[in-house]
Amino acid sequence: MVTVRAPATSANLGSGFDVFGVALDRPSDVVTVQRAEQTTIEVTGAGSQFIPEDPADNTVGAVAEALDAPAHIEIDKGVRPASGLGSSAASAAAAAVALNRLYDRGYTRTELVPVAAEGEAVVSGDAHDDNVAPAILGGFTIATDSGVTRVGANIPLVTCLPDIVVSTRDARAVVPDGARIEQLVETVGNAATLTTGMHRSDPDLVGRGMTDSVVTPARAELITGYERVREAALEAGATGVTISGAGPSVIAACHEHDQRSIAATMVDAFADVDVDARVYQTGIGSGAKVLD
Ligand code: HSE
């Protein structure tokens, strides 16, 4: 039996649509695997009632198949599905690391990233590495078609999860088909600023680089109160605010001394528009960890 904890993650960070991701130090999923003749799945925890246990429809079923590693798989969800916090990626990453260990497959962590992404494809309809890469490797990751680059960084973050459901499929449907050259220039500048900020663990540079005028404005329409929450967080000292992944969570970068008041402000701003929200004062964390 092998048990692995894998973290929630936040993809995109504004300027890095489908490329950037960070591991969060909370919440997380815990996955336990045991050898079996065929794969069976049991899900408990946050939002488990919405997660199919049929291996053909579950993110970890695809991972077990990709690794040719049938198992009884127990998933204890800490990351609510459809939250924008990499819920399916956390389960897929934990399962990939656990099954690789259980069956002694010998893949490196980096090699497990595309395996876990196959699991992601089951729920999002598309294989993205931007959540699974940080869920497996930890830190800040840059996932492109030519590979994954990891940067260790330490930035205080606040993620605020409103009681709204936005599916990744719906959020992808509103992504514009193209961008103007000015937007491309701005995005390159912001992405480079953010990456430099991660290298320096500088919350001001990271926050500045989170600005995005292409995908985020379209998706903001799906999140009741987004602009209000963003402005309130910036007023409370956030260095940057954007949608976490496909939403509806909102993520803020900040200095540690502002973290608590930003967290309270974001919850209050959602309450102003009659939306309940829970908040995590978090930071950039490590990747999937084998517990026993
Ligand atoms: N980069 C993806 C998106 C993350 O924003 O749609 C969710 O898989």
CA dist list (Å): 96 to 2, 115, 137, 290: 11, 7, 12, 11
Atom 1 (ligand 1): residue with closest C-alpha?
18
Q: How many residues does the chain have?
A: 292
pLDDT tens digits for 24-36? 999 999 999 999 9
Q: Is 245 in the pocket of ligand 1 (CB under 6 A)?
A: yes
The predicted structure's pLDDT at residue 86: 93
Domain ranges of the chain: 2-151+285-290, 156-283
Give 10-residue mean pLDDT values along the chain (292 residues).
97 97 96 97 94 92 95 96 92 97 96 91 77 97 95 97 89 95 98 98 98 97 97 98 97 98 98 97 97 82
Q: How far is CA 29 from CA 32, 35, 52, in A?
A: 10, 20, 16
Q: Are 6 and 91 in contact (CB under 8 A)?
A: yes
Kindly give the interhelix angle for 59-66 and 109-124, rounded to the nearest 10 degrees.
140
Give yes or no for residue 168 CB within 6 A of ligand 1.
yes
Cα–Cα separations (whole angstroms), residue 230 to 164, 204, 239, 275: 16, 16, 11, 14
Q: How far is the CA of 244 from the centre of ligand 1 (A)?
A: 9
**Number of helices (H), then strands (E), in the chain:** 10, 11
What is the three-class DSSP state of 255?
coil
Helix (H, G, I), strand (E, B) or coil at 226: helix
Which pLDDT score, from 0 to 100, does residue 124 have? 67
pLDDT of residue 284: 97
Give the pLDDT of residue 128.
80
Residue 288 Cβ contacting ligand 1 at under 6 Å = no
Protein fold of 156-283: Alpha-Beta Plaits (3.30.70)
Nearest residue CA, atom 3 of ligand 1? 246
Predicted local confidence at residue 165, as pLDDT = 87
Q: State whether residue 58 is helix, strand or coil.
A: coil
What's the predicted TM-score (pTM) here? 0.95
User: How confident is the model at residue 18, as a pLDDT?
Assistant: 95
- What CATH number has the domain spanning 2-151+285-290? 3.30.230.10
Q: Residue 185, Cα to own-chain centre: how many angstroms?
A: 26
